[in-house]
A and B are shown apart, each in its own frame.
Chain A
Amino acid sequence: MSIKRRLSEFGSKVQHLFKGGGDVALEKQKKRGKLTARERVDEILDNDSFLETDLFVEHSSTDFGMDRKKLAGDGVITGYGKIDSRPVAIYAQDFTVAGGSLGKAHAAKIVKVMDGAGTKKIPLIGINDSGGARIQEGVDSLYGYGEIFLRNTTFSGVVPQLSIILGPCAGGAVYSPALTDFVFVVEKISNMFITGPQVIKTVLGEDVSPEVLGGAKTHTTVTGNAHFYAKTECEAFKQVKRLLSFLPANCLEAPPAAKPMPPVKSISDNVIPDNRRKAYDVTDIIKGLVDNSDFMQVHEHYARNIVVGFARMDGKPIGVIANQPRYLAGVLDVNASDKAARFIRFCDAFGISLLTLVDTPGYLPGVDQEHAGVIRHGAKLLYSYSEATVPKVTIILRKAYGGAYIAMCSRHLGASTVIAWPTAEIAVMGAEGAANIVFRKEINASDDPEATRQAKIQEYEDKFANPYVAASKGYVDILTEPHKTRDIVIKAFEFAGEQDHGNSFRRHGNIPL
C-alpha cells in the first residue's frame, strides 16, 4: 500500500470515528437540546488543548450479534486537556454510540484516563451521558463499573474528581459520580436514579416523571446528590471552570493563589440586626470579608440553613462554612451536618483553609430529626472539624449556643483562632430557655410569674449573652468589630499553619456515616 493510500485510509477512519454514532444519532442528540460528546469536550477545554487517547479502541464481545457491531471509540471519548492552562484528565460518554452504554472496552478507556489522572496528579472530569451497562456484554460491564468505582475511591482525596451529568445516569452507573467530589447537573438534561420511573411504575404502581424522580432540581434541592445546578450545559461548564480556579491539582500542591483583592463592599459595624431574633443573609457578610466579594456556593439550594463554598482571602483559596440565620434560623439538622461535614473533609483533603462563621441557635427540634438520626449525622460535623488539620479560623457573629457552639469549629475542636464580635452570645443556651430552667423556682413562686420571668431573662441575658465570659476563659482568642475583621482573619490564617494530630500511625479514623 502506498504512503498516500495509507494516509487517506487513516484520514477516513478518523473522520468516521469522529462522527460517533453517525449523523442521524448526532442530530437526535441535538434535538434533545444536548451538545454532542465531542462538542462538550471542546467547550470545556482550552482551545486546541485536547489530546485524545484510545480513539481506535474497539470492543471484543461476540454475543448477541455484537461481533458485527462496530462502536466508534466504544462510546466514550477520553484524553487530556487544559482548563485555564492547567492540565486535567477528561472522559465524555457518547450517547450517540449504543446509548453511551458501558462495556468492557468503554470502561477500560475510562480506567486508563483515571489512572492517568492519578499518576500525573491532575483533576479528573467525567461527563456522564449513558443508558447504563451494555447488557450484551453481561458481567464484563459490571466488572467495568467496579474498576471505575475502585479508582474513584483510591484517588479520592488525591486529585479533585468532578462529574458532570449530561444525560441519563442510572442504576449502578450513578455510583461513580456519587463517589466523586462534586456533581454538576443541568435542567431538563440530567437524570440520576438507581431505579428508573419505568421500574417504579411496574413494581410499585407509583407514577413519577424522570425529572421529579431524579432531575436536576430534585438532586440539588431534595437529595443533595448534586452540588451545582445549571440551566444550560455551557453554564455548567463555566461553573466547572470557576470551581477548578479554587482547587489545587492534587493534595500535594498548594491551592492556586491569585492577586489579593479587597471586597467590593466591606462590612459595616451594624451588619447584625439590633433584634437578636431577626434574620439576615449571612452571604452578605461572607462577601464583605472575601477577596473581590467572590464567593462560590456549593450545595446552594440544599440544606440552606448552612452555607458552604469557596472564596479567597489575601489571594489564597479558603473554604467557608456559615450558619444561615435567614433559613430555619440557621439551626443545625441532619442535612446541614452532612453538607458541611463533606465540604470540610474535601477542604482538609486538599489543604484548603477553613473559615467558619457562627450564628446558630442550636439543633432543630422534632421527632422527624431525631428519627432521621440527627445524633449520628450531627456527629459528622464534630468529627470533620476535629479531624481537619488545615488552618481553621472561626468568627462568632452572634448566637453560639450549646452543642452547636462546640460543633461550629470552636476552640475546643481545634480551631486555630477564634474571633468574636461584640454582638456574639456564647452561652449554653438562649436566655429564655436558660432563665426558665435556672430560675424555675423563683418564677413559679412569684406573685407575677410573667414579670419575674422577663426580669430573669434580662438578668441572664445581661450576664451571659455576650462574648466576654468565653473570652475571659480564653475560649475566644480575639474580640473585634466587623470592619476590622477581614484584616485579622488574614493575619490569623497567615500565622495558623498546618496542625499535627500526632496520629499518623493510625490507618484511618472511623467517621460516623
Chain B
Amino acid sequence: MLDIRGLHKVYEGSGRRVEAVRDLTFTVSAGELVCLVGPSGCGKTTLLKCMGGLLTPTAGEVLLSGKPVSGPPPGMAFVFQEYGRSLFPWMRVGQNVELPLKQKNLTKARRKELVADALESVGLADAAGAYPWQLSGGMQQRVAIARALAYEPQVLLMDEPFAAVDAQTRADLEDLVRGLWRERGITILFVTHDIDEAVYLGERVIVLSASPTVVQEQLKVDLPDERDQLHTRVAPRFAELRTHVYEQIQAAKRGIPQDAVTKSNTPPLH
C-alpha cells in the first residue's frame, strides 16, 4: 500500500545544510496500523510530510499503491497535531468536514451523508453547527479526525495527533482511533513520541534513530486485537514490549545501531 524507498531529505538554507532524514526504507501494507516512534527531533514530521506530498524528498521515493507521490495524493488524509490551527475558525464544524469533499466530484447529498456519517462515528453528531473554538481540545481533534474520515482515504497519516490533549482525553482518542481502524479497515500511519501509545495502538512499531534518521528497528506488536486501556496496559507482554522500545529509543539517542542491541525482530519472551 505504502512504500518508502531510500527516502532522503536535506534542508538547504542560508548556508546551513541540515540532513533531517538520511535513508528510510519501509512498507506499510493495506489495512495495517503502524506506529512510528523516535527520539524528539528525529525528523518524524519531515518524513510524514514527504509521504503526504507536502515536501519533496531530496532523494528516494514514496509509492502509494505503486504510484509515486509527487503532490498531496487524493487517497491520503492528514491529521495534524495542532488541531486548533488545522481547523478553520471561520467555518462551522460541518463546513470544516465538508470543505475537502468539495474538491471531489460528489453530489451535495453524498457530501452531506459523508459529513454526517463521519461526525457520527467520532461521537460528534450534534456538533455540526458549532464553531471549532466552541469545543474542547479533544472534541476539536475529533472533528479533525472526522474530516479525514469523510475524505474516505486509503491511507490516514496522523502526526502526533494527541500530543496536545490531556491524558484522559488522549486515552479516549486512542480507543477511538483503534475502533475506527478495526471498523473501517483504513491503513493508518501514526507518528508519536509516546512509547506507550505506540505499543498500545500499533500492530507494528517502527523505531526511528536520532536525526539524521534511519530505521532503528521494526517490531511486531503481538498483543491481542481486542485492547483496552485497563487491561492491555498492565499486561506483562505490554510491559516487555514497551521496555524493549524504550531501550531501542535510548540506544537511538546514543547513536548505537540496531544490531548492537538486538538481532531479533521481536523481543524474546522472558
Q: Are chains A and B native binding partners rather than an unrelated pairing?
A: no
Query: Which residues of B are interface residues toward A (Cβ below 8 A)?
Result: none
Query: Which residues of A are interface residues toward B (Cβ below 8 A)?
Result: none
